[in-house]
Amino acid sequence: MNDRFLRACRRQPVDATPVWFMRQAGRYMKEYRALRERHSMLDLCRTPELAVEVTLQPIRRFPLDAAIIFSDLLLPLQPLGLPFDFFKGDGPRVERPIRSEADIDALSPIEPREALAHVLEAIRLTKRELDGRVPLIGFTGAPFTLASYAIEGGHSTQYAHTKALMYGNPAAWHRLCALFAETAADYLLAQVEAGADVVQLFDSWVGVLSPADYREFVLPHCRHIFDRLKPSGAPAIHFGTGTATLLPLLAEAGGEVIGADWRIPLDDAWALIGPERAIQGNLDPTLLLAPTGRLVAAADDVLRRAGGRPGHIFNLGHGILPGTSVEAVEVLANHVHAFKAAGSGTGLGHQP
Amino acid sequence: MNDRFLRACRRQPVDATPVWFMRQAGRYMKEYRALRERHSMLDLCRTPELAVEVTLQPIRRFPLDAAIIFSDLLLPLQPLGLPFDFFKGDGPRVERPIRSEADIDALSPIEPREALAHVLEAIRLTKRELDGRVPLIGFTGAPFTLASYAIEGGHSTQYAHTKALMYGNPAAWHRLCALFAETAADYLLAQVEAGADVVQLFDSWVGVLSPADYREFVLPHCRHIFDRLKPSGAPAIHFGTGTATLLPLLAEAGGEVIGADWRIPLDDAWALIGPERAIQGNLDPTLLLAPTGRLVAAADDVLRRAGGRPGHIFNLGHGILPGTSVEAVEVLANHVHAFKAAGSGTGLGHQP
């Protein structure tokens, strides 16, 4: 197996920097658009054979070092009692958003092995298809990000309802997040059992919180998830955007790998999370829309800041945008692999 | 005149921390909603008598230390050749967004003294009405934020079109921003001539850029504006959100006062911009939706981090939200004035 990605998660030397991309399966690929013409987003997520096919599309097309199961971070919401769907140009919409303590108390715990069995089946089938070519990543949404969708009902700019509930009824907030955290831990452990080599917790929108609010309202719940994952031995990636001032707290909550976005230079981010963590990131995904020269120069800047230290996984700071060209993705993946850190001789913390 | 705000802009001692709020005139006040029932947002902005009335509404209601002229940061777009309007729940929408170099070359410079004469008239009338009670703030949008609206056509989450143009055609990008910068400088100088005591440059969305991109694509244009403002002697406030990693660059671009949002603790932000600048901020506006105890405790944290050093202007990290209660705003304004920094004896860098 190509184990660059797993080695980097464990901060072991590698022959080249591993690279994968968030949303590496998606609208920018014509193979994906062809499937989406016949199937809804939720159909793709809920039909194991289709999820496998979409998961493998980018692996066939690009020299990536990891696959990520095709799914959505919101999937646990429906079985928990919060049905939702995706609407074009508008993103996910939750049918009856949470607005009160009673709405929270109406939710009931789930057993992800049953309620999300289709994802676990997709993971098992994908592992078989991959046949050891590259590791497979499982994932789910983190408590704050799930809560923000559940409370706002969709994307938000101000998170006013979410924060109003958080500030106004901390006990109810913590009950909601404890339910999301327990579900996430059960679900990620089940994904590891099904074959996921690594798991990623997406706290995509947590960057709208102050450090003090993160510590009070989010950290304990994320820590619970990572504590429960530890015995599995599978490395965990802790991801968010807009987290420049939250990175030390994300590291404190847990994760062998911490994700960073482009708003903070990679070396500054690594200094904040500490040398005992691996780091994933952090190119601005809009650079894939730029001319090749600028794209490659920006990637070089990220790689130079990583400085060939073991424990860097190259990725974007967020998902690939729909308007991206497959050629740009291919150029970038190849460029990352070809990069040699200055002064590192034959390579990056070269594998002996 | 109550000159606390002006003294704080100049880092002079004050008898109490000055406080004003972004969007202190707005939907959360019933007086404002009553006017909006009969007039569109653009009517309010373009009719001096109405703009004066809305500007004064919060001054009559709360013990604020500054008024800010009721206007919109996008107003220069229309005379430049980019008509827009506001749509309920959707924010501003530009009729024909910029998507090419030709669209940029079709724009023509304006003389704000003519094209935006109604704002200058509103400033003159407001100054007369205020009769020296509190200083008046003028403002406009900064080049990046204006460009993002002009190119995306409205609010955005990814800024994909904006960054694609910026990366793909830097010469055209710089021409566009130079036009916006020259317009902003002319317009702010005209506002000072008309009576504005202080001006604020709103670069509300610049926090979506990496520090390297800020330096290359934004800093020179903002610096040009602040350089042109210097001789006027009016203090300038440089504001953005999500700028934790950009604050040193915002300070480098200019402004006697730098705005910070709640994502970074105020003392950390002040350390980044340096002691020779005043700082404005930085409470999360959603805290005005919280129970009073939490609101006041969070305000105390901001004030303690300011530590009674001259040069702190209390504000939110962004505008007041529509669902805010006037009671919460009143409690907060009074609380800021009543706060005494620990160990500062009679007050905050007490005025002799």
Please check whether residue B268 touches A, CB under 8 A.
yes
Question: Do B188 and B202 form a contact (C-beta atoms < 8 A)?
Answer: no
Q: How far apart are CA A54 and CA A259, in angstroms?
A: 24
Can you tell me whether residue A116 is helix, strand or coil?
coil
Residue A271 DSSP symbol: H
CB A140 within 8 A of CB A188: yes
- Report CB contact under 8 Å: B265, A301: no
Residue A309 inside a domain? The answer is: no
The Cα A233–Cα A198 span in angstroms is: 9
In a domain, A301, yes or no: no
Residue B345 lies in a domain: no
Q: How confident is the model at residue A256 (pLDDT cuts 50, 70, 90)?
A: very high
B284 is catalytic: no
Q: Does any CB of chain B come closer than 8 Å to the CB of residue A167? A: yes
- Residue B344 inside a domain? The answer is no
The answer to whether residue A236 sits within a structural domain is: yes
Q: Suggest the residue from A148, A158, A250, A300 to mutate for an interface test with chain B (most B CBs closer than 10 A).
A: A158
Full domain range(s) for residue B122:
4-338
B335, B32 contact by CB (below 8 A): no
Beta-strand ranges (E) seen in chain B are: 67-68, 84-87, 91-94, 136-141, 198-203, 236-240, 257-259, 278-283, 312-316
Tell me the CA distances in angstroms from A232 to A198, A221, B307, one per residue in order: 10, 18, 47
Q: Is residue B163 part of a domain?
A: yes
Of the listed B23, B46, B277, B309, which one is catalytic?
B23
Task: Let me know: does B236 contact B255? Beta carbons within 8 Å.
Answer: yes
In this prediction, residues A136-154 reach a mean pLDDT of 98
Q: Which of B158, B244, B263 sits opposite A321 (nearest CB)?
A: B158
Q: What is the mean pLDDT of chain A?
A: 95
| pLDDT bracket for residue A347 (50, 70, 90) | very low
Check if B27 is active-site: yes
Contacts of B247 (CB under 8 A, 6+ apart): B258, B260, B264, B269, B272, B273
Model confidence at A344, pLDDT cuts 50, 70, 90, reads: low
Residues B302/B263, Cβ–Cβ less than 8 Å? no
pLDDT in tens, chain B (352 residues): 799 999 999 999 999 999 999 999 999 999 999 999 999 999 999 999 999 999 999 999 999 999 999 999 999 999 999 999 998 877 899 999 999 999 999 999 999 999 999 999 999 999 999 999 999 999 999 999 999 999 999 999 899 999 999 999 999 999 999 999 999 999 999 999 999 999 999 999 999 999 999 999 999 999 999 999 999 999 999 999 999 999 999 999 999 999 999 999 999 999 999 999 999 999 999 999 999 999 999 999 999 999 999 999 999 999 999 999 999 999 999 999 999 866 554 445 444 3
Nearest Cβ partner for A160 among B209, B291, B323: B323
Q: Which of B163, B285, B301 sits opposite A289 (nearest CB)?
A: B163
Model pTM score: 0.96
How high is the pLDDT of residue B88?
A: 80
SS (H, E, C) A204-240: CCHHHCCHHHHHHHCHHHHHHHHHHHHHHCCCEEEEE
CB-nearest partner of A287 from B159, B167, B285 = B167
Whether the Cβ atoms of residue A50 and residue A35 lie closer than 8 Å to each other:
yes
The answer to whether B286 contacts A159, with C-beta atoms less than 8 Å apart, is: yes
Q: What is the C-alpha separation between B72 and B160, in angstroms, rounded?
A: 24
Alpha-carbon span B168 to B256, nearest angstrom:
34
Which tens digits make up the pLDDT trace of A1-50? Answer: 799 999 999 999 999 999 999 999 999 999 999 999 999 999 999 999 99
CB-based burial of residue B343 (10 Å sphere; 0-12 exposed, 13-18 middle, 19+ buried)? exposed
Contact B87, B61 (CB under 8 A): no
B10: which residues sit within 8 A by CB, 6+ positions away? B235, B256, B278
Catalytic residue among B27, B215, B228, B305: B27
Q: Is B196 helix (H, G, I), strand (E, B) or coil?
A: coil
Helix (H, G, I), strand (E, B) or coil at A77: helix
| Cα–Cα distance measured from residue A265 to residue A247, given in angstroms and rounded to the nearest whole number | 12
**Which two structure tokens, joined as six digits, stand for A87?**
């609407």
Mutation site for B-interface testing, chosen from A286, A300, A332 by largest number of B Cβ within 10 Å: A286
Q: What pLDDT, on the 0 to 100 scale, is given for residue A350?
A: 40
Active-site entry in A7, A23, A46, A309: A23
Q: Which residues in chain B are closer than 8 Å to A262, comparing Cβ atoms?
A: 210
Q: Do B242 and A263 touch (CB under 8 A)?
A: yes
Euclidean distance between CA atoms B87 and B286, whole angstroms: 23
- Establish if A271 touches chain B: CB-CB under 8 angstroms: no
Instruction: Name which of A210, A244, A245 is nearest B284 (Cβ-Cβ).
Output: A210
**CA B249 – CA B235 distance, rounded (Å):** 18
Please list the helix, strand and coil fractions of chain B in percent, rounded to the nearest 5, in that order: 50, 10, 40
Mean pLDDT computed over A151-177: 97
Instruction: Give a yes or no: residue B348 inside a domain.
Output: no
Is the Cβ–Cβ distance between A287 and A294 less than 8 Å? yes
Residue A68, SS3?
A: strand
Confidence of residue A340 (pLDDT cuts 50, 70, 90): confident
Specify the number of domains making up chain A.
1
What's the confidence (pLDDT) of residue A179?
98
Q: Does the beta-carbon distance from A291 to B168 stay under 8 Å?
A: yes
**Do the bridges between strand B136-141 and strand A236-240 make them parallel or antiparallel, or are there none, so unpaired?**
unpaired
Q: How many CB atoms lie within 10 A of CB A155?
A: 13
Of all helices (H) and strands (E), which one includes residue A141? strand A136-141
Return the percentage of chain A with pLDDT > 90, whole number: 94
Residues 273-332 of B with CB under 8 A from A: 284-287, 289-291, 294, 298, 301, 321, 323
* CATH number for B250: 3.20.20.210
- Say if B352 falls within a structural domain: no
Q: Which two tokens stand for residue B129?
A: 């009405």
DSSP string for residues in B142-195: -HHHHHHHHHHSS--SS-HHHHHHHHH-HHHHHHHHHHHHHHHHHHHHHHHHHT
How far, in Å, CA of A122 to CA of A151, rounded?
29
3-state secondary structure of A125: helix
DSSP labels for B39-74?
Answer: S-HHHHHH-HHHHHHHHHHHHHHS--S-EE----TT
Q: What is the pLDDT of residue A162?
A: 98
3-state secondary structure of A281: strand
B341 conformational bin, left if phi > 0, alpha if psi -120 to 50, beta if neither? beta
